[in-house]
Amino acid sequence: MELRKRAGFTQQQLASELGKSVSTIAKWEAGRVPSWTPQEFSLIRTVLQCTYEELVEAFSPSKTESV
C-alpha cells in the first residue's frame, strides 16, 4: 500500500493501470503474496516508480505479516 500511495494511485487506479481487479490489489495489500510473471513485475515497478528492492521488500514475509 505504501508504494501505491507514494505513486499517487487509488486501488481502482492501480488496478486499471495493471489490468487487474480492485479485489486483486486489495488481496496483495492484505498480505497475499502475488505470483507475477517477469513482464508483470516489470510493469508494476514501472507504474509504481519503484526499484526492484522496494517491490520485493513490500512483499517480504515480515512486511505482509504485520498487515
Question: Above 50 in pLDDT, residue 44?
Answer: yes
Structural domain that includes position 14: 2-65
Mean pLDDT across 55-63: 79
Tell me, what's the pLDDT at 67? 46
Question: Above 70 in pLDDT, residue 66?
Answer: no
Q: Minimum mean pLDDT among 23-27, 41-45, 63-67: which range?
A: 63-67
Domains contained in the chain, number: 1
CATH number for the domain that contains residue 21: 1.10.260.40
pTM for this predicted structure: 0.81
As a three-state string, the secondary structure of 5-67 is HHCCCCHHHHHHHHCCCHHHHHHHHCCCCCCCCHHHHHHHHHHHCCCHHHHHHHCCHHHHHCC
